[in-house]
Amino acid sequence: MTSEFEFIDRLRMRLPSATDDQVWIGDDAAVLENGQLFATDVLVEGVHFDLAWCDAAAVGWKALAVNVSDIAAMGGSPTAAVVSVVVPPGGGPLADDLGAGLAEASEVFGCALVGGDTSTGPALVVSVAILGTSPAAGAVLRSGARAGDAVFVTGTLGSPAAALDALETGEVPVPEGAARLHRPVPRLGEGAAAADAGATSMIDISDGLAADLGHIAGQSGVGVRVDADWIPREPDVPLAVALRGGDDYELCFTAPDPMQVGDAFLSRRLSPPTRIGEIVAARSEASAPSDLVLVVEGQSTPWPTGSWEHELD
């Protein structure tokens, strides 16, 4: 079996490395000349959405929103996007609804839709590529976390995954969770505030907190200690879902000075992020799974694994 990440690693080995001042494969967005950000994300019918559970306008909205979220995760601002759409036979009205959702999101997120491509095919697919600008101090990468930094997350975690669980088992999802699943709102202001506050690393939570904070630890070469009691979640969301669920599109970031973080969010009138733990030194040079610790009721437990990852064969 080849997993998504094995494929990406093998592809990366075939390609030249990024120049010293740029970041290519491996972060939420690539960082190009002059800090220009460039990212893409695709939504596939039957894999990322089911039209029995949401309308095509929501799919259009989400396609742009998840791309904007990758720009937010660098502390950046979106500038322009292009969109490719594959429409199944007889899908004209569907495509129009999709376009309405894309146009709405474009206006709300201040990201111009400047082109794209359209084809027919066996299922509805929408792929967006997005450009953005870096914050003044430079894009916030996944690789900058340092021992002693505090770990923060915005919003609450797990509600969209809980809503998806409900839909998959034929139950009625909590409306707020379903709204967040189908029409996520990327945390642009929060990403910029974190960058202002000296964030050392950041990622958007698309594959679940455990996996995504794991990427920060791995790419920064550090360990992490998170207290399960501090993870913000709605009362109906089990801890396991808040840790492993995907589709949150909240931000997880690290920063050395919690006061500065509080001030940056307050001055932008944003709800303060929740401090959930700290970055610790890895025991060896490369961060290993044993360097990640979840504290449950005062006891150190192994880091949760088994989050969402596409299998390619």
Token digits of residue 296: 């449950």
Q: Which two tokens stand for residue 279?
A: 């970055």
Q: Which of Mg ion, ligand ADP, none does 312 bind, CB closer than 5 to 8 A by kind?
A: none
Identity of the residue, 32 or 293, whose beta carbon is nearer to ligand ADP in the bound complex = 32
Q: Which C-beta is closer to ligand ADP: that of 14 or that of 269? A: 14
Within a 10 A sphere around the Cβ of 30, how many other Cβ atoms?
Answer: 19
Find all residues with CB under 8 Å of 34, minimum gap 6, and list them: none
Q: Which does 8 bind (CB under 5 to 8 A by kind): ligand ADP, Mg ion, none?
A: ligand ADP
How far is the CA of 272 from the CAs of 62, 228, 265, in angstroms? 25, 19, 6
Q: Which amino acid is at 185?
A: V
User: What single letter denotes the amino acid at residue 196?
Assistant: D
Supply the angle between the helices 175-182 and 159-168 in degrees, to the nearest 10: 100
Which residues have C-beta within 8 Å of that of residue 299, sequence separation ≥ 6? Answer: none
The three-state secondary structure class of 295 is strand
By beta-carbon proximity to ligand ADP, the closer residue of 27 and 45 is 27
Residue corresponding to tokens 């430079």: 138
Q: Which residues bind ligand ADP (CB under 6 A)?
A: 8, 11, 25-28, 41, 70, 206
| Cβ-proximal residues to 89 (8 Å cutoff; 6+ apart), any chain | 120
201 makes contact, choosing from Mg ion, ligand ADP, none, with CB < 5 to 8 Å by partner type, with none
Q: Please tell me what DSSP assigns to residue 34.
A: G
* Partner whose binding site includes residue 281, from ligand ADP, Mg ion, none (CB under 5 to 8 Å by kind): none
Judged by beta carbon, residue 70 or residue 247, the one nearer Mg ion is: 70
Q: Binds 41, which of ligand ADP, Mg ion, none (CB < 5 to 8 A, cut-off by type)?
A: ligand ADP
Nearer to Mg ion, 45 or 70 (CB): 70
In the complex, what is the shortest distance from the CB of residue 63 to ligand ADP, in angstroms, rounded to a whole number? 12
In the complex, minimum distance from the CB of residue 85 to ligand ADP, in angstroms, rounded to a whole number: 19
Neighbours of 50 (CB within 10 A): 13
User: 94 or 111: whose CB is closer to ligand ADP?
Assistant: 111
Q: Could you tell me the smallest distance in angstroms from the CB atom of residue 69 to Mg ion?
A: 6
Residue 278 binding partner per list Mg ion, ligand ADP, none, with a CB distance cut-off of 5 to 8 Å that depends on partner kind: none
CB of 195 to ligand ADP, least distance (A): 17
Q: Which residues form the interface with Mg ion (CB under 5 A)?
A: 28, 70, 204
